[in-house]
Amino acid sequence: MPASQPRSRARDRNNVLNRAEFLSLNQPLKGNQESRSSSRKQSGQAGAAGAQSTSPKERRQSQQLPEEDCMQLNPSFKGIAFNSLLAIDICMSKRLGVCANRASSWGGARSMINLLGITGHGIPWIAGTLICLVKSSTLAGQEVLMNLLLALLLDIMIVAGLQKLAKRKGPYDINPGLLDYLTMDTYAFPAGHASRVAMLSKFFLNHLVLAIPLRILLVLWALCVGLSRVMIGRHHITDVLSGFVFGYLQFRLVELIWMSSNTCQMLISIW
């Protein structure tokens, strides 16, 4: 027994793994284990605190985000149809804008088309109505002219308000003219010239006795003025069509609030 003990001690001394620098390979230090366990506990506590700090509203929003993305990536049938019609309207309006600038296919006729558009402008019609009202001497004529003046003023205010709400620009980047700024006709939807000529043509057809050729020419004039606004690139096709609709509705509004002869005489005397 005494001889075997020195032999085992010698084997332990000769064993390389028993040296101090290699002890960590056999048994990890307690300090490292404690630090690792403490870091794990801290990370777990931080995750639990973060989970508790998130409110139920934020959790619902995070759960709803994928659904919102799916809704944006899958538009409805109405949205697809509306965007398709809008694209067709823009494409057709650009094709019909043959007088949008001097370099266009019909650029040489731009001045004549602009002149046709001026016949449907509000300023010349208001000025002409005032001149005729001053020179008129009959009660019936003054009544018609006063209601016509009311219709023209309502048309300018209604179209200007609708254009400010829509703020739709035309198919081409064309700056409005001086007369357009005076009547606040600076945007595309709805077309002010189209609403005005539709209202005027319907007004004259109802309150003036005209021969059939003149009635046909009046309707053709309204259509040509509306088409001219598309040809010079100021309005889309839908802008002109909506202008015709609003012009008819304005005429119906004037018919509902039609001023009598006595009211017109009172206003004329004040003026």
> Which residues are annotated as catalytic?
193, 235
- Tokens standing for 195? 């609403």
- Tokens standing for 89? 């309207």
Kindly report the three-state secondary structure assignment for every residue of the chain: CCCHHHHHHHHHHHCHHHCHHHHHHHCCCHHHHHHHHHHHHHHHHHHHHHHHHCCHHHHHHHHHHHHHHHHHHCCCHHHHHHHHHHHHHHHHHHHHCCCCCCCCCCHHHHHHHHHHHHCCCHHHHHHHHHHHHHHCCCHHHHHHHHHHHHHHHHHHHHHHHHHHHHCCCCCCCCCCCHHHHHCCCCCCCCCHHHHHHHHHHHHHHHHCCCCHHHHHHHHHHHHHHHHHHHHCCCCCHHHHHHHHHHHHHHHHHHHHCCCCHHHHHHHHHHC
CA distance 192 to 235: 10
CA distance 264 to 271: 10
Cα–Cα distances in angstroms (integers) from residue 117 to residues 57, 80, 225, 252, in the given order: 57, 35, 6, 24
- Tokens standing for 151? 């219709």
